[in-house]
Amino acid sequence: MSAIAAAVTAAIAGGGGAWLIGAARAWGRDSGPDLDQAAVSRAVSAALTVNPARGFAAAQRIGWAELLRRGALTPVAPVISDPGNPGRWLGLFEDATGALGMGAVRVLIVVNGSPKKRDGSHTVHGIPVPAGITTPLEAAAWAHDDPTHPLRCTVGDYVDLAWRS
């Protein structure tokens, strides 16, 4: 097991969220041959099982784009153009292999409309949605809906979106 994977495992055992995030960030930077990435994946998986909020934060640090490149996520439906964000896309993915321990949660991958201030790049975000959701638009509408309010957010409402930052 690599030092980073060991650190992640120790962080989970000790409940150290900051360590986990730091280790995940380090993993994102380090792609050296001695890195036991499978062990890190298992560690992140364990984190997601124990505490999804922390696990999602770790995945965010690693980078959803990086996870997609590594084939860690499987598309549920075709990727579509984001109605509120011309030139960007929406994708709905699941952890079909269980490598990330996301379980019943699927993830809507979106690209921020606002670039980062310093370098102009856009951030890729992962938004967890329930497993029953089958399309990116459904997922986006769900993310902005409030079932306890008289005004609901439907797929049509999201399609009519003027802007998403």
Partner 1 sequence: MNTTTVPGLRPGLTAAGGDVLDQLAEAVLPVVSGRSTAEGDLFIQHWPRHKATTERSAAVKATRPLPRAGADLLGDGSHVLLADGPRVTWGGQPSASGLTLGTLVVGAGSVAVLSHREHRDLRIGCGIYVIRRSRWVTLLTTSRPALPQAEPDWREAID
Q: Which residues bind partner 1 (CB under 8 A)?
A: 15, 17, 50-54, 56, 84, 105, 112, 114, 127-130, 142-151, 153, 157-158, 160-165
CB of 148 to partner 1, least distance (A): 4
CA 27 to chain centre: 16
The residue length of the chain stands at: 165
Cβ 130 to partner 1, closest distance in Å? Answer: 7
The label of the residue with tokens 């996520």 reads 73
Q: Is the distance from CB of 8 to CB of 24 less than 8 angstroms?
A: yes
Q: Which is nearer to partner 1, 14 or 74 (CB)?
A: 14
Residue 4 C-beta: closest distance to partner 1, Å: 22
**Minimum CB–partner distance for residue 76 and partner 1 (Å):** 16
CA nearest neighbour of 127 among 153, 109, 102? 109
Whether the Cβ atoms of residue 153 and residue 139 lie closer than 8 Å to each other: no
DSSP letter for 34, please: T
Cβ distance to partner 1 smaller for residue 69 or 81: 81
Closest CB to partner 1 among residues 37, 112: 112
Burial class of residue 127 (count of CB atoms within 10 Å of its CB; 0-12, 13-18, 19+): middle
Closer CB to partner 1, 78 or 147, in the complex:
147
